[in-house]
């Protein structure tokens, strides 16, 4: 079976928006973390058990976001997450925030998670069982967006640096 992104749905809440009713950029991290947690849970890796089973933590080394279409209070967003890169001691989780039908990319981001032992917080290799469990959702960004039917961010007319 080919790899696919994992998708959650979540509403933009009052606490996510600014005075104009537009989502605050930092609120996307909340959406990313919900998607991440549910991806791991769907793969049989609920964090409480994952950390105990492998005696590790997965702290963030980097968090990056880009914004294309503003979300507003009560918008229902679909957040697709997938593992984009697996290294020896770290992995990159990608997030695509989808709007409307056909899917348009409202925002995108990624996080680098580093595998560390729980006692000394020193980097260590990712457990093979973790990599194997996430394999059904490990794929390149282009492949994920093709599966999702996402149009290119450049075609949205959104701000770009």
* pLDDT tens digits, 14-62: 999 999 999 999 999 999 999 999 999 999 999 989 999 999 999 999 9
CB 120, CB 56: distance < 8 Å: no
pLDDT at 159 over 70: no
* pLDDT tens digits, 57-105: 999 999 999 999 999 999 999 999 999 999 999 999 999 999 877 689 9
Distance of CA 70 to the CA centre of its chain: 18
What is the pLDDT, as a whole number, of residue 161? 39
What Rg value do the Cα atoms of the chain yield, rounded? 16
CA dihedral for 39, 114, 143, 32, sign (positive or negative)? positive
Give me the domains of the chain, ranges plus CATH numbers: 6-149 (3.10.129.10)
Q: Is 137 exposed, middle or buried (0-12, 13-18, 19+ CB in 10 A)?
A: buried
Instruction: Decide: helix, strand or coil at residue 32.
Output: helix
Beta pairing class for 56-57 and 116-117: antiparallel
Instruction: For 82-94, give the DSSP string.
Output: EEEEE-SSEEEEE
What is the pLDDT, as a whole number, of residue 103? 80
CB 47, CB 133: distance < 8 Å: no
Reference 114, options 152, 65, 58; nearest CA is 58
pLDDT at 8 over 70: yes
Q: What is the pTM of this model?
A: 0.91
* CA angle at 128 for the pair 126 and 129, rounded to the nearest 5°: 110
Instruction: Decide: helix, strand or coil at residue 81.
Output: strand
Helices (H), the chain: 27-42, 47-54, 128-134, 141-148
What is the pLDDT, as a whole number, of residue 18? 94
What is the pLDDT, as a whole number, of residue 35? 98
């Amino acid at each position: 079976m080919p790899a696919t992104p994992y998708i959650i749905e979540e509403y933009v809440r009052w606490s996510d928006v600014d005075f104009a009713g537009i989502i605050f950029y930092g609120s996307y991290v909340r959406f990313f973390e919900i998607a991440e947690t549910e991806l791991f849970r769907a793969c049989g890796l609920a964090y409480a058990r994952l950390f105990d089973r492998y005696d590790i933590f997965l702290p963030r080394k980097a968090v990056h976001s880009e914004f294309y279409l503003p979300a507003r209070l009560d918008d229902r967003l679909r957040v697709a997450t997938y593992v984009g890169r697996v290294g020896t001691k770290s992995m990159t989780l990608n997030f695509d925030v989808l709007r409307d039908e056909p899917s348009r990319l409202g925002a995108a981001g990624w996080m680098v998670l580093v595998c560390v032992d729980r006692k000394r917080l020193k980097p260590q290799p990712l457990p093979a069982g973790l990599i194997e469990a996430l394999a059904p959702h490990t794929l390149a960004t282009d492949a994920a967006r093709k599966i999702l039917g996402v149009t290119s961010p450049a075609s949205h007319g959104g701000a770009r640096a």
